[in-house]
Amino acid sequence: MQIKPILITSMVLSTMGFSSYVHAKPGKQYSPLSVSVSRIATGTASVGEQGNELQRDQWMFDLKTGMPLNKQWMIGAKLGYDNLDYDWSSTSIGSQQTWDKIERYRASVSLSYRPDEHWMFMLAPKIQYAASDNASLSNAQSYGAFLSAMYRFGSGNMIGFGVGYLNDIDEVRTVPFIAVNWQITEKLKLGNPFSAGFSGPAGLELSYAMNPDWDFGVGTSKRTNRFLIADDEETAEIDEWVSFARVGWKVNSSFSVNGYAGYFFNGELELNPQNSKEEIENQGALALDLTYKF
């Protein structure tokens, strides 16, 4: 297995995209705007039984903002662009021509309501376009909405549940998830490493804060990526699990860096309308995240 050098990546996002508000105590300051530039590089993995191999690189760019309207309501928005490179060892997989690049555009808004000091409810509509260089983005629209409810205990710990309705490209599905921000001890915390969205539920991460500047974590989640590979409604979907170890460095109050060593396993590639499925070999990955909060 080979792993290409990586530059910048992002695997850490808040549960619903506005953790500074959701997890903060009333009256605490939050960042109204954050920007992240990201990249993921996976190892080379066999796909199917015909000797085909695939290596993936991914760039991610995110812009996120939010502001309270009053003590009970908050509104926010998020924009994102992803560029995914697929390096295949052959020009076809099964009976389908392979693709070299996927472009993905993402946008969402969020409306949060906090009726008292314990409960918070959130509605987050989302839209996404994801297509290969062989297809048109205009035919690759996905849309949906996420609804969640979280409860804050007297200790400040929070737990909640949510569900997403997703009208993905040529497929409708629901995504249930658990939202948690639980301070187990002074240094040990259980939380969500990902944002619940088109790629799946939020997952879980157990983190340890060595000091205010350095923390470490381990986590896992299921990831699903679906995109259009030809204009005649031909789609590809990669469904897999990922586990990871993370090292985080808070450089200052605005700038943070997170590095990862990950492992993708139980992966599967589904091609439609052929409804053919190819197993993806387990592979390692390296990642790094740079985030700046204004």
pTM: 0.86
Contacts of 177 (CB under 8 A, 6+ apart): 15, 148, 161, 162, 163, 164, 196, 201, 202
pLDDT digits (tens, 9 = 90+) for 249-287: 999 999 999 999 999 999 999 999 888 999 999 999 999
The answer, yes or no, to whether residue 224 has pLDDT greater than 70, is yes
In sequence order, the 6+-apart residues with CB closer than 8 A to the CB of 187 are 208, 209, 210
Residues contacting 277, CB < 8 A, separation 6+: 268, 269, 270, 271
In this structure, what are the phi and psi dihedrals at residue 67, rounded to the nearest 5 degrees? -155, 145
| Residue 219 and residue 178 in contact, taking contact as beta carbons nearer than 8 Å | no
- Distant-in-sequence, close-in-space partners of 29: CB < 8 Å, separation ≥ 6: none
User: Is the pLDDT reported for residue 22 higher than 80?
Assistant: no
DSSP 8-state class, residue 157: -
Q: Any idea what DSSP says for residue 78?
A: E
- Tens digits of per-residue pLDDT, 102-148? 999 999 999 999 999 999 999 999 999 999 999 999 999 999 999 99
Average pLDDT, the chain: 89
Task: State the pLDDT at residue 275.
Answer: 86
Most confident of 22-26, 206-210, 232-236: 206-210
Q: Give mean pLDDT, residues 191-204.
A: 90
For 37, other C-beta atoms within 10 Å of its C-beta total 17
Residues 179/191, Cβ–Cβ less than 8 Å = no
> pLDDT value at position 32?
85
Helix (H, G, I), strand (E, B) or coil at 22: helix
pLDDT tens digits for 30-59? 568 999 999 999 999 999 988 899 999 999
Q: How confident is the model at residue 188 (pLDDT cuts 50, 70, 90)?
A: very high
Is residue 82 within 8 A of residue 104, CB to CB? The reply is yes
pLDDT attached to residue 174: 93
Q: How large is the average pLDDT for residues 218-233?
A: 93
Higher pLDDT, 13 or 192: 192
- Give residue 232's pLDDT: 80
User: Among residues of the chain, what percentage have pLDDT more than 70?
Assistant: 89
Query: DSSP characters for 161-184?
Result: EEEEEEEETTEEEEEEEEEEEEE-
